[in-house]
């Protein structure tokens, strides 16, 4: 349960809007059109990594004008301290046999890249027809593994961001834009 109790406190933690709703809408429309053109006539599966990417996935799949399926995955990472244990536990897996699909992983943000890197390896081992990564936000300055999205809608600096599915303590996912979080709430 969040320690934020009032609307006033909720709003006080939004430091500044980084990416507006209009900018997101335009980028998502373009990404949907690009996907529709590239995958026309091909079996397509959009895979959202929960929870953060659910808002992005909902808007993106509606922007895709060709037949597509969607799937969801959730993972827990066990990276303790400065050493990576390299253990990712899938807590929700896909129901589809992805060997019959062109798969696009729909991610909210790529930060260190460790968990996504492990998910990519798992999915590649399932032999999809092709595999790409589409991320809403990319924070390359934080990367700890060699990983690049095939498509990144926005590159952002090293800020703690909230909104459009991204949270802080399970709060702020409902904001229609991406904002910098202010821990002090000033």
Q: How far apart are CA 141 and CA 125, in angstroms?
A: 28
**Of 46, 53, 66, 59, whose CA–CA distance to 128 is shortest?**
46
Q: Which of 111, 118, 138, 167 is catalytic?
A: 111
Q: How far apart are CA 62 and CA 58, in angstroms?
A: 7
Q: In what order do the strands lie in the sheet with 151-155?
A: 83-92, 69-80, 44-50, 102-110, 130-138, 151-155
Cα→Cα distances 96→3, 43, 56, 147, Å: 39, 12, 21, 25
Q: How far apart are CA 108 and CA 68, in angstroms?
A: 19
Can 34 be counted among the known catalytic residues? Answer: no
Q: In what order do the strands lie in the sheet with 178-181?
A: 14-19, 178-181, 161-162
**Mind telling me the catalytic residues?**
111
């Amino acid at each position: 349960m969040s320690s934020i109790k009032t609307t006033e406190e909720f709003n006080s933690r939004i430091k500044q809007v980084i990416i507006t709703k209009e900018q997101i809408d335009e980028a998502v429309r373009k990404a949907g059109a690009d996907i529709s053109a590239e995958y026309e006539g091909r079996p397509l599966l959009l895979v959202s990594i929960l929870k953060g990417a659910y808002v992005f996935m909902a808007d993106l799949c509606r922007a895709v004008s060709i037949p597509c399926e969607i799937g969801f995955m959730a993972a827990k990472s066990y990276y303790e301290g400065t050493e990576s244990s390299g253990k990712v536990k899938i807590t929700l897996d896909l129901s589809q046999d992805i060997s019959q699909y062109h798969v696009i992983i729909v991610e909210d943000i790529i930060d260190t890249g460790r968990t996504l890197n492990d998910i990519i390896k798992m999915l590649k081992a399932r032999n999809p027809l092709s595999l790409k990564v589409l991320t809403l936000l990319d924070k390359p300055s934080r990367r700890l593994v060699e990983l690049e999205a095939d498509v990144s809608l926005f590159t952002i600096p090293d800020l703690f961001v909230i909104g459009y599915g991204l949270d802080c303590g399970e709060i702020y996912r409902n904001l229609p834009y991406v904002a910098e979080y202010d821990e002090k709430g000033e």
